């Protein structure tokens, strides 16, 4: 395997939680697993760290990133700012190919039961968010979004454990699609912002309740 393939394999294992948050990656074991010397393995680990999948601790090595409450809040705040504006711009600038893409995604949602298969709902959600970002035709926003996308994938590992969250997201996505198709700029932006805000709220309430309580008690 070359470095690209090894990077993608480790990345896949992180996203599938075969390497769960908090898991330490041992360089020697990786060298043996991938029949690769230490230098390229170390380069791969640094790239995974730069892309947000790992964290590096001095004198200890590399560990799969575990998102804390503050990080979750910051990710969704950043997404709301960027993707809210992207939705507005896509309403204005998206042409026939964009609308065709939206209709295709809408048909796919109609065939999926996200409560029984949350992972499939997540995949369609990513497809929609990416289509809207592309439809905004803003290269600087697209570049920023690429940096956020890896962190977004890590939050998806949390939401896929809750069919209720994914069902609410699917309903929100369908409303966003309708606003996009009708080229309602203000409504499109508002729905996107509300969707991300509500998803964040559900994640925090369901998976970080203890941290919220501790934060409140410390004030």
Angle subtended at Cα 161 by Cα 52 and Cα 10, rounded to the nearest 5 degrees: 35
**CB-based contacts of 143-146 (< 8 A; 24+ apart in sequence):** 144/82, 145/82, 145/83, 145/86
Residue carrying the six token digits 């969707």: 195
Q: Which two tokens stand for residue 29?
A: 């074991």
Contact 14, 44 (CB under 8 A): no
How many residues belong to the chain?
Answer: 219
Tokens of 61: 């090595």
User: From the centroid of its chain, how far is CA 127?
Assistant: 11
Mean pLDDT of the chain: 90
pLDDT tens digits for range 124-134: 999 999 999 99
Q: pLDDT at position 191, please? A: 98
Question: What does the pLDDT look like over 146-200, one tens digit per residue?
Answer: 889 888 888 887 887 788 888 899 999 999 999 999 999 999 999 999 999 999 9
E-strand ranges in 18-170 read 24-25, 54-57, 61-64
Determine phi and psi for 65, rounding to 5 degrees: -65, 135
* pLDDT at residue 213 tops 50: no
What is the model's pLDDT at position 4? 95
Note the pLDDT of residue 212.
52
In this predicted structure, the answer to whether residue 73 has a pLDDT above a threshold of 80 is: yes
Secondary structure (DSSP) of 165-195 = HHHHHHHHHHHHHHHHHTT-HHHHHHHHHHH
Name the CATH superfamily, with its identifier, for domain 69-212.
GntR ligand-binding domain-like (1.20.120.530)
Q: Name the class of domain 3-64.
A: mainly alpha
Q: What is the pTM of this model?
A: 0.84
Distance CA 111, CA 106 (A): 9
Are both 3-64 and 69-212 of the same fold?
no
> Would you list the domain boundaries of the chain?
3-64, 69-212
pLDDT at 135 over 50: yes
Report the Cα–Cα distance between both ends of the chain, in Å, rounded.
52
């Amino acid at each position: 395997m070359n470095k690209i393939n090894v990077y993608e394999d480790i990345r896949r294992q992180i996203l599938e939680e075969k390497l769960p948050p908090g898991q330490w990656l041992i360089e020697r074991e990786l060298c043996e697993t991938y029949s690769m010397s230490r230098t390229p393995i170390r380069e791969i680990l640094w790239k995974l760290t730069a892309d947000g999948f790992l964290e590096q601790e001095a004198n200890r090595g590399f560990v799969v990133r575990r998102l804390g409450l503050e990080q979750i809040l910051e990710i969704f705040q950043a997404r709301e700012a960027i993707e809210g504006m992207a939705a507005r711009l896509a309403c204005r600038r998206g042409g026939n190919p964009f609308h065709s893409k939206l209709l295709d995604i809408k048909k796919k949602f109609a065939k999926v039961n996200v409560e029984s298969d949350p992972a499939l709902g997540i995949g369609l959600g990513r497809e929609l968010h990416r289509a809207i970002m592309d439809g905004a035709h803003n290269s600087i926003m697209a570049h920023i979004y690429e940096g956020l996308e890896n962190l977004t994938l890590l939050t998806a590992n949390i939401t896929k454990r809750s069919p209720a969250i994914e069902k609410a997201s699917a309903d929100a996505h369908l409303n966003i699609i309708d606003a996009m198709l009708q080229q309602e700029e203000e409504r499109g932006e508002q729905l996107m912002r509300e969707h991300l805000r509500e998803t964040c709220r559900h994640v925090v309430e369901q998976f970080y309740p203890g941290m919220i309580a501790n934060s409140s008690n410390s004030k």
